[in-house]
A and B are shown apart, each in its own frame.
Chain A
Amino acid sequence: MTELWEVFQLPFMQRALLAGLLVALMSSVLGVFVVQRGLSFLGDGLAHAAFGGVALGLLLGVEQPLWVALLFTLVASLGIAWVRDRTQLSSDTAIGIFFAVSVALGVMFVSLETEYSVDAWNLLFGSILGIGREELLIIMGVTPLSLGLLGVLWGRLAYATFDAELAQTDGVRVRGLEYLLFALAAVIIVASVRVVGAILIAAYLVIPAASARLVSRSLSGMTLLSVVFGLVGTAAGLVLSFFLEVPSGSTIILTQAAVFVVAAVFARR
């Protein structure tokens, strides 16, 4: 216990814990709508769009490539929503197209750089222990905004998730909400990629919500449990990774996966 206390006296561990918990909070609430709408592939697609954006930012030589990533990911996210809205294609197909194009562009941008950049590839694997003060501030700014928006819109989002047509007959602006949800996903994912990495953010967005879905009777219960699972998985994974001396992002996701297995065992049938 004393050793654990000492671990969290270290500034980089404090930053890692705070950032991880904030990302868990945002992605767990958003994840409920992602999972329930059958958009589990969205996190993967947008995280790779973020990679393309960071690669473009590095190529352009901007000071903070995350801002370019945000714009790039927003365009990709709204593009996916537009394809879903305007065509008969499934979500997976729309996401798959933007996923492939974003990765192709990202690889091309990286290859065009004159100097080999560690940062663009580093993004794919995450580095929660290496998170800087500025990145932490971005997450601290995004968290209340996104949680506030999700809180205000929860009832309407949940209604539209249950049945878009019913919600629309009751005056809910379903199409606008859908675009807003996709834009919010883009913002949350870009803010989170530095914490868990592009490869793992998708799982971060899906596993706590999916675990909660297995043992919940209602969407509000699923939301609360998703948050609890996300926070517990993050804190436990971070501590485990420190003592086991293994990669933190991977350990957080594996801890969340262990929670999923337990939930699956106790799932309501």
Chain B
Amino acid sequence: MPLLHAPALHVHHVSVRFGEAEVLSDVSFDLDAGEFLAIVGPNGAGKSTLIKVALDLVTPLTGHAALFGEDAGRHPERVGYVPQLKTFDRTFPATVLELVVSGLRRSWPAWVRAAERDAARAALAQVGAEKLATRTLPKLSGGELQRAFLARALVRRPSLVLLDEPATGVDFLAEHDLYDLLERYQAVGGATVAMITHDLAAARYHASRVAVLNRRLHGFGTPDDVLCESCLKKAFGHLRHAHGIAV
């Protein structure tokens, strides 16, 4: 049974090991419904692993994750996931419409029904990509592919949207368009967003909560509280480069 007023994402003493390597160590936090969480940290900090624990793709050694009061993986229809785009086979023969319908059907469509087509076109329109419907995936640019995957995630109207470095490989404008789209989606339906990013300025500007991670959770709170020098220094080891950093 879902708990009333349960957090959208509850991470409870989660530790993950891959062989000898400790990837996450005793990570705990609660993310309330309607929040926009940015997960920041250096490469290899366990950010993607944390998202995968929330998706029930990785089973933690200790601890657990729950979404809206129920075990992770129980209700995939409530979650929209945008994975790292660089992991995809860009040569796969598929149209954008089929990709979006796969998010609706949770299976790959051999053919697309009229109702599915309408829903997919509406989702594409929502992310400003209605013209991409009949295009094939190998023909898309990085920004177009990102919009297609976002439409795929949003077509089922999820209560929680999880994004793994969605801005990788896209230009500055496409990145900020993405954040605006997510904020609009949140404003309409009150959804929760959790996003991995390396862009600390974007985390400060768009997120309502920030998690600073480097195997351990070094900070969780509002951007003003968490994106401070001492907290970032603990996670990243050092902060200063000759050209400085913008936080």
The reply to whether the CB of B88 lies closer than 8 angstroms to some CB of chain A is: yes
A166 to B85, CA, bound (A): 12
A162 in contact with B57 given A218-B94, A219-B93 (CB within 8 Å): no
> Which residues in window 42-80 of B have CB below 8 A to A?
55-57, 73, 76, 79
- Of B103-111, B113-121, B187-195, B219-227, the segment with at least 4 beta carbons within 8 Å of chain A is B103-111
A162 in contact with B94 given A169-B55, A169-B76 (CB within 8 Å): yes
The reply to whether the CB of B92 lies closer than 8 angstroms to some CB of chain A is: yes
Instruction: Indicate if the CB atoms of B76 and A36 lie closer than 8 Å.
Output: no
Residue of chain B at shortest CB distance from A151: B110
Question: Which of B73, B81, B102 contacts A162 (CB under 8 A)?
Answer: B102
The reply to whether the CB of A75 lies closer than 8 angstroms to some CB of chain B is: no
Q: How far is the CB of A250 from chain B (nearest CB, A)?
A: 30
For A21-34 the 0/1 string (1 means CB < 8 A from B) is 00000000000000
* B residues lining the A interface (CB < 8 Å): 55-57, 73, 76, 79, 81, 83, 87-89, 92-95, 98, 102, 105-111, 136
Number of A-B contacts (CB under 8 A): 73
Instruction: Indicate if the CB atoms of A159 and B108 lie closer than 8 Å.
Output: yes
| List of B residues within 8 angstroms of A217 by Cβ | 93-95, 136
Q: How far is the CB of A56 from chain B (nearest CB, A)?
A: 38
A127 to B114, CA, bound (A): 48
| List of A residues within 8 angstroms of B76 by Cβ | 169-171
Residue of chain A at shortest CB distance from B80: A169
Q: How far is the CB of B120 from chain A (nearest CB, A)?
A: 14
A36 to B93, CA, bound (A): 9
Instruction: Indicate if the CB atoms of B107 and A218 lie closer than 8 Å.
Output: no
Instruction: Indicate if the CB atoms of A219 and B95 lie closer than 8 Å.
Output: no
| List of B residues within 8 angstroms of A170 by Cβ | 76, 106-107
A169 to B160, CA, bound (A): 13
Instruction: Indicate if the CB atoms of A219 and B92 lie closer than 8 Å.
Output: yes
Question: Which of A157, A159, A220, A223 contacts B102 (CB under 8 A)?
Answer: A159
A162 to B87, CA, bound (A): 11
In the complex, 24 of the A-B residue pairs with CB atoms within 8 angstroms, ordered by the A residue number, are A154-B108, A154-B110, A155-B109, A162-B89, A162-B92, A162-B102, A163-B89, A165-B57, A165-B83, A169-B76, A169-B81, A170-B76, A171-B73, A213-B93, A217-B93, A217-B95, A218-B93, A218-B95, A219-B92, A219-B93, A219-B94, A220-B110, A222-B93, A223-B110
Q: How far is the CB of A150 from chain B (nearest CB, A)?
A: 11
> Which residues in window 150-207 of A have CB below 8 A to B?
154-159, 161-163, 165-166, 168-172
A169 to B156, CA, bound (A): 14
Residue of chain A at shortest CB distance from B162: A169
Instruction: Indicate if the CB atoms of A162 and B108 lie closer than 8 Å.
Output: yes
Identify the interface centre among A36, A169, A213, A223: most chain B CB within 10 Å of its CB.
A169
Q: How far is the CB of A179 from chain B (nearest CB, A)?
A: 18
Q: How far is the CB of A44 from chain B (nearest CB, A)?
A: 22
The reply to whether the CB of A146 lies closer than 8 angstroms to some CB of chain B is: no
A236 to B19, CA, bound (A): 55
The reply to whether the CB of A221 lies closer than 8 angstroms to some CB of chain B is: yes
The reply to whether the CB of A241 lies closer than 8 angstroms to some CB of chain B is: no
Question: Which of B55, B87, B107 contacts A155 (CB under 8 A)?
Answer: B107
The reply to whether the CB of A91 lies closer than 8 angstroms to some CB of chain B is: no
| List of A residues within 8 angstroms of B102 by Cβ | 159, 162, 166
Residue of chain B at shortest CB distance from A157: B108
A166 to B94, CA, bound (A): 15
Instruction: Indicate if the CB atoms of A166 and B83 lie closer than 8 Å.
Output: yes
| List of B residues within 8 angstroms of A157 by Cβ | 108
| List of A residues within 8 angstroms of B109 by Cβ | 155, 220
| List of A residues within 8 angstroms of B88 by Cβ | 163
| List of B residues within 8 angstroms of A216 by Cβ | 93
Instruction: Indicate if the CB atoms of B81 and A155 lie closer than 8 Å.
Output: no
> Which 10 pairs of residues, A with B, have the shortest CB-CB distance?
A158-B108, A155-B107, A170-B106, A159-B108, A220-B110, A169-B55, A216-B93, A170-B76, A155-B108, A171-B76
